[in-house]
């Protein structure tokens, strides 16, 4: 239904406008979900316990889709096992100038240069107070105007304000759309940032998992540094991977747009990063696999490479909500019968 009827209509219009239109429809007419979409797959065998949290299934929604925590309850009803909101910054900001979101239809991909557009952490907190038992990840970043030497303070503000309302945190230093942000992935500033947040975390009565979201463009040496940093700071795990700056092999006319590339062109590289981290660390920490998951096979490959959970974004846009069921159904085929 989605790919044959709904997607062809949506793809005729500007992608950012379609995004907000879809949000409005799901928010104001939730019955449409039950009317047009299949019932989510539910089975106890899909449950996963990862970094101390119980997920009803291993298929989550990646950050960037519900930046402002507007639709997490409705999106969970589509069958996601968890929803990651954000990236949130201390103060609301408009992001980069429009047009800033581009479909690459021939490549089943998207380029975005959104620039952490969001309403600010306080607005998200008010919405999260209406959470109907959805497992939520809070993806946090820094404001564009905050210099890198002061970035840790932005992350601390978001961490403190979100702490009562999310189940885990994701530190985003890997978006290519905030100037100089990726410099925070260097070993010294990253160790300082994660160490600071982890110190705040362990002082809480019930600490929460902190994960690091990394770029797929890191070299092997940089990935080895990431393993060292995760183990030294004792954070809970890694999300691999964010969007890429690579444009290799693209066919679409929008390929020259600046920004981060997501979708099928990222499938292989993100799986390679997952496998490298898993093998070189001897599976020392959980990995959430994201990047180019458009089929159940893509998801299984990431799980086999070492991911404990997976997330969808661009694949969700191209393939529709049915993809969640397809992945969970394929996972169930690999589970022993109860």
Q: Is 325 annotated as a binding residue?
A: no
Q: How far apart are the C-alpha atoms of 71 and 1, rounded to whole Å?
A: 22
Nearest to 198, CA basis, from 173, 169, 227, 222: 169
Q: Is 72 annotated as a binding residue?
A: no
Q: Is 313 annotated as a binding residue?
A: yes
Q: Is 292 annotated as a binding residue?
A: yes
The residue from 108, 175, 278, 308 that is catalytic is 175
Q: Is 112 annotated as a binding residue?
A: yes
Q: The sheet that has 109-112: what strands, in order across it?
A: 101-104, 109-112, 260-263
Q: How far apart are the C-alpha atoms of 265 and 245, rounded to whole Å?
A: 11
63: β partners:
none
Q: Is 114 annotated as a binding residue?
A: yes
Tokens of 310: 């997976």
Q: Is 64 annotated as a binding residue?
A: yes
Nearest to 69, CA basis, from 146, 165, 164: 165
Q: How far apart are the C-alpha atoms of 203 and 273, rounded to whole Å?
A: 32
Tokens of 36: 């047009």
Task: Write down how long the chain is.
Answer: 338
H helix or E strand, kind and range, residue 154: helix 151-162
Q: Is 243 annotated as a binding residue?
A: yes
Coil vs helix vs strand at 244? strand
Question: Is 133 within 8 Å of 142 (Cβ atoms)?
Answer: no
Nearest to 195, CA basis, from 218, 212, 178: 212
Q: Is 13 annotated as a binding residue?
A: no
Q: Is 172 annotated as a binding residue?
A: yes
Q: Is 295 annotated as a binding residue?
A: no
- Coarse DSSP helix, strand, coil percentages of the chain, rounded to the nearest 5 percent: 45, 15, 40
Q: Is 66 annotated as a binding residue?
A: yes
Coil vs helix vs strand at 312? strand
Nearest to 30, CA basis, from 61, 71, 1, 63: 71
Q: Is 269 annotated as a binding residue?
A: no
What contacts 188, CB < 8 A, 6 or more positions away?
none
Q: Is 137 annotated as a binding residue?
A: no
175 annotated active-site: yes
H helix or E strand, kind and range, residue 144: none
Nearest to 143, CA basis, from 181, 91, 192: 91
Active site residues: 175
Annotated binding site: 63-67, 87, 112-116, 139, 172, 177, 213, 241-243, 263, 292, 313-314
Annotated binding site for substrate: 67, 112-116, 172, 177, 242-243
Binding site feature residues for FMN: 63-67, 87, 139, 172, 213, 241, 263, 292, 313-314
């Amino acid at each position: 239904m989605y790919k044959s009827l709904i997607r062809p209509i949506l793809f005729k219009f500007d992608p950012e406008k379609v995004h907000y239109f879809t949000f409005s429809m799901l928010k104001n007419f939730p019955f449409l979900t039950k009317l047009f979409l299949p019932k989510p797959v539910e089975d106890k065998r899909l449950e996963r316990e990862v970094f101390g949290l119980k997920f009803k299934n291993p298929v989550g929604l990646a950050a960037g889709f519900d930046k402002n925590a507007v639709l997490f309850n409705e999106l969970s009803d589509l069958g996601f096992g968890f929803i990651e909101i954000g990236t949130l910054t201390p103060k609301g900001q408009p992001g980069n100038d429009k047009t800033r979101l581009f479909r690459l239809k021939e490549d089943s991909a998207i380029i975005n240069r959104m620039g952490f557009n969001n309403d600010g952490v306080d607005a998200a907190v008010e919405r999260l107070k209406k959470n109907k038992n959805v497992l939520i990840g809070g993806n946090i970043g820094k404001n564009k105007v905050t210099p890198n030497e002061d970035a840790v303070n932005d992350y601390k503000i978001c961490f403190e304000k979100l702490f009562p309302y999310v189940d885990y945190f994701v530190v985003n230093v890997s978006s290519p759309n905030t100037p100089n942000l990726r410099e925070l992935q260097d070993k010294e500033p990253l160790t300082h940032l994660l160490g600071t947040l982890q110190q705040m975390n362990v002082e809480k009565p019930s600490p929460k998992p902190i994960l690091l979201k990394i770029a797929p463009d890191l070299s092997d040496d940089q990935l080895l540094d990431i393993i060292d940093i995760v183990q030294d700071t004792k954070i809970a795990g890694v999300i691999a991977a964010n969007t890429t700056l690579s444009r290799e092999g693209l066919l679409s006319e929008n390929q020259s747009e600046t920004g981060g590339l997501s979708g099928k062109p990222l499938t292989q590289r993100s799986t390679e990063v997952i496998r490298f981290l898993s093998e070189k660390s001897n599976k020392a920490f959980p990995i959430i696999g994201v990047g180019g998951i458009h089929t159940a096979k893509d998801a299984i490959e990431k799980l086999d490479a070492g991911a404990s959970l997976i997330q969808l974004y661009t694949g969700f846009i191209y393939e529709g909500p049915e993809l969640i069921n397809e992945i969970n159904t394929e996972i169930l085929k690999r589970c022993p019968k109860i």
